[in-house]
Amino acid sequence: EQQKREEELKAKEAELIRGNPLLNPTTSFNVKR
């Protein structure tokens, strides 16, 4: 169960970063690469 929760958190974080590139330019840059 813990792993599933962690995966969901990661997915939510990725969505947030994608929606707000200005929030984390370094992460968005890594995702684009």
Return the pLDDT at 27.
Answer: 62
Return the pLDDT at 2.
Answer: 92
pLDDT tens digits, one per residue of 1-33: 899 999 999 998 888 777 776 766 666 566 666
Its pTM stands at: 0.45
User: How would you class 7 by CB atoms within 10 Å of its CB: exposed for 0-12, middle for 13-18, buried for 19 or more?
Assistant: exposed
Q: At what angle do helices 25-32 and 2-19 cross, to 10 degrees?
A: 100
Cβ atoms of residues 15 and 32 within 8 Å: no
User: Phi/psi class of residue 24: alpha, beta or left (left: φ > 0; alpha: ψ in -120 to 50)?
Assistant: beta
**Secondary structure class of 1 (helix, strand, coil):** coil
